[in-house]
Amino acid sequence: MRGPLRACLSDDGPRSRAVAVLLLFVLVGLALAPFLFPGARSLSVAAKILVFIVLVASYDLLLGYTGIVSFAHTMFFGIGAYGVAIACTRIGPTWGALGIGLAGALAVSGMLALVIGLFSLRVRAIFFAMITLAVASAFQTLASQLSDLTGGEDGLNFKVPEVLRPSFELFEDPVLGVSIDGRFITYYLVFAAALVLFLALLRLVNSPFGRVLQAIRENAFRAEAIGYRTIHYRTASNVLAALFATAAGALLAIWLRYNGPDTSLSFEIMLDILLIVVVGGMGTMYGAVIGSVLFVLAQNYLQDLLALGGAAFESVPVLGALLSPDRWLLWLGVLFVLSVYYFPSGIVGRLRASGRRAGPP
């Protein structure tokens, strides 16, 4: 088993006992989420974590491994979601429609990423970032205005194949207390796809191509001097990251059975991605897993924790007010400032450094 596992991970293990334990907990928790955390809300949180793992890992390929700052990543995420939504709306709730929507979205994302890369990556990094921001903003405006195609600000509600619908039941009786319905099947479809996509990204960054990307990140002039066409590799990285983000968007749309501008194209999502990459650890891939779990859990359950704390300290005027659930964004910001301060290389980077000081695992 060790040989195939190492091949699957591309010989890039966690390199830290703490990271390995955290990853194992995440894997087991997500694999058994329908059984360990029953309830519609818990399952939706687990599915969102899976989608964000792929989305953030694809951005880590761009930022952490190639050194490219792009603000258009949510555009490709939205293209994937809209591709599935539009295809299922126009063609019907079939597997063929899902395939056509995903294929069309991948084609559109690939072409856009190629054009953006070839025409923009020759400029300095800050100008490329501004170009991608402008393109993403224009696309979001376009998606909001093309109401006949995208549903405009209201978005698109669509149906999926029958086996993925909540009303579908594979078995009459629950299994281990869990109903094997369409929601259950959809979750494991998202889980399997996210796992395959993440392992593919892990394999990619540890291939010879990934090593060249890291060389370009460290010193583009030296990489160019030894014979690598940096613009070609940067463009390829931009296209690949866009394709993986598109696949993540398609998974989100399949899970929600809805897509709109605020769901997949919002600039807030882009900021979330940046935060998760920095907090988890740039250039590690595993940081996308740990960072996504922490962020999504905090985003969904911090208000509940504050409500408990506010009730407990209700008699203390200042503390009770600070622990109000309405101030969850304030506490979320404080948590991320502290995490960046104490983990400047990200959680995974810090744990790996601690592991090296303690000795090989």
pLDDT of res. 350: 85
Does the CA dihedral 300-303-304-309 come out positive or negative?
A: positive
Has residue 1 got a pLDDT over 50?
A: no
Task: Summarize pLDDT for 171-224 with one digit per residue, the tens.
Answer: 777 777 788 888 999 999 999 999 999 999 999 999 999 999 999 888 888 888
CATH of the domain at 291: 1.10.3470
Task: Summarize pLDDT for 94-152 with one digit per residue, the tens.
Answer: 999 999 999 999 999 999 999 988 877 776 677 888 888 999 999 999 998 888 888 88
Residues 6+ apart with CB under 8 A from 238: 62, 66, 68, 70, 113, 114, 116, 117, 121
pLDDT of res. 313: 67
Range of the domain at 117: 2-358
pTM equals 0.91
pLDDT of res. 11: 56
Task: Summarize pLDDT for 37-55 with one digit per residue, the tens.
Answer: 888 889 999 999 999 999 9
Tell me how many domains the chain contains.
1
Separation between Cα atoms, residue 64 and residue 57, nearest integer Å: 9
Share of the chain above pLDDT 90, in %: 50
Burial environment of residue 108 by CB neighbours within 10 A (0 to 12, 13 to 18, 19 or more): middle
Mean pLDDT of all residues in the chain?
86
